[in-house]
Amino acid sequence: MLVTERERLRDDIQAMADRMGRKRDALIPILQEVQTKHQQISDYAMQVVADLLDIHPVEVYSVVSFYSFLDNKPKGRFVVRLCRTISCDMAGKEAVARQLMNDLGVCFGESTKDGKFTLDWANCIGMCDQGPALLVNEQVHTKVTPEGVHEILEACRKTFGVYAQEKKEERA
Amino acid sequence: MTAKITFATIEAGAGLKAALGKGRADIIGELSASGIKGRGGAGFPVGVKWNLCAAARGESKYVVCNADEGEPGTFKDRVILMEHADLVFEGMTIGGYATGAREGIVYLRGEYAYMRAHLEAVLAKRREKKLLGKNAAGKQGFEFDIRIQMGSGAYVCGEETALIESLEGHRGEPRNRPPFPVDTGYMGRPTVVNNVETLAWVACIMAKGAGWFKSVGTEKSTGLKLFSVSGDCKNPGVYEFPMGITISKLMQEVGGEGAKAVQVGGASGHCVPAADFGRTIAFEDISTGGSIIVFGKGRDMLAVARNFLDFFVEESCGQCTPCREGNHKLLEGVTMLAEGRCSMAYLKELMSLGETMQLASKCGLGQSSSNAFLSIVKNFKDEIMGRATQGSLTHRRQGADHG
Ligand SMILES: Cc1cc2nc3c(=O)[nH]c(=O)nc-3n(C[C@H](O)[C@H](O)[C@H](O)COP(=O)(O)O)c2cc1C
Ligand code: SF4
Ligand code: FES
Burial B220-246 (b: 16+ CB within 10 A, else e): ebbbbbbbbbbbbbeebbbbbbbbbbb
Establish if B91 belongs to a structural domain: yes
**Residue B2 CA neighbour count, 13 Å, CB half:** 15
Please give the model's pTM, rounded to 2 decimal places. Answer: 0.95
Establish if B401 belongs to a structural domain: no
Residue B356 C-alpha to ligand 3 middle, in angstroms?
A: 29
Mutate to test the pocket of ligand 1, among B64, B65, B74, B159 (most ligand atoms within 8 A of CB): B159
* Cβ separation A68–B112 shorter than 8 A: no
- What element of type H or E holds A64? helix A57-66
CA gap B49, A142 in Å, rounded: 37
pLDDT at B401 over 50: no
Interface of B with A in 126-145 (CB under 8 A): none
Q: Would you place residue B390 in the very low, low, confident or very high pLDDT band (cuts 50, 70, 90)?
A: low
Which stretches of chain A sit within 8 Å of chain B by CB?
A: 23-29, 31-32, 62-63, 66-70, 84-87, 89-90, 122-131, 135, 138-140
Enclosing domain of residue B325? 301-384
Contacts of B169 in chain A (CB under 8 A): 23-28, 63
Q: Are residues B307 and B373 in the same domain?
A: yes
Mean pLDDT, chain B, integer:
94
ipTM of model: 0.94
Establish if B132 belongs to a structural domain: yes
Identify the pLDDT of residue B362: 97
**Rounded to whole angstroms, what are the CA distances from A132 to A68, B2, B162, B231, B351?**
20, 21, 29, 11, 32
How does pLDDT run across A44-86, given as a tens digit for each residue? 999 999 999 999 999 999 999 999 999 999 999 999 999 999 9
How does pLDDT run across B271-289, given as a tens digit for each residue? 999 999 999 999 999 999 9
Establish if B390 belongs to a structural domain: no
Residue B376 C-alpha to ligand 1 middle, in angstroms?
A: 24
* Ligand 1, atom nearest to B160 Cα: 17
pLDDT at B400 over 60: no
Residue B296 C-alpha to ligand 1 middle, in angstroms?
A: 28
Burial degree of B359 (CB within 10 A; 0-12, 13-18, 19+)? exposed
Q: Are residues B57 and B162 in the same domain?
A: yes
Nearest chain B residue to A89, by CA:
B307
Establish if B134 belongs to a structural domain: yes
Contacts of B151 in chain A (CB under 8 A): 67
Nearest chain A residue to B239, by CA:
A129
Q: Which residues pair with B226 in a beta bridge?
A: B240
* Cβ separation B169–A24 shorter than 8 A: yes
Identify the pLDDT of residue B389: 66
Identify the pLDDT of residue B12: 86
How does pLDDT run across A104-130, given as a tens digit for each residue? 999 999 999 999 999 999 999 999 999
Q: Are residues B99 and B123 in the same domain?
A: yes
How does pLDDT run across B66-117, given as a tens digit for each residue? 999 999 999 999 999 999 999 999 999 999 999 999 999 999 999 999 999 9
Q: Are residues B131 and B147 in the same domain?
A: yes
Interface of B with A in 348-367 (CB under 8 A): none
pLDDT at B161 over 80: yes
Mean pLDDT, chain A, integer:
93
Last residue of a domain, one of B214, B241, B267: B214
Identify the pLDDT of residue A152: 97
- What domains can be seen in chain A, in order of their start residue? 3-66 (1.10.10), 78-171 (3.40.30.10)
How does pLDDT run across B331-378, given as a tens digit for each residue? 999 999 999 999 999 999 999 999 999 999 999 999 999 999 999 999
Q: Are residues B169 and B26 in the same domain?
A: yes
How does pLDDT run across A12-39, given as a tens digit for each residue? 999 999 999 999 999 999 999 999 999 9
pLDDT at A172 over 50: no
Going by C-alpha positions, the residue among B93, B74, B15 that lies closest to residue B239 is B74
Last residue of a domain, one of B214, B244, B277: B214
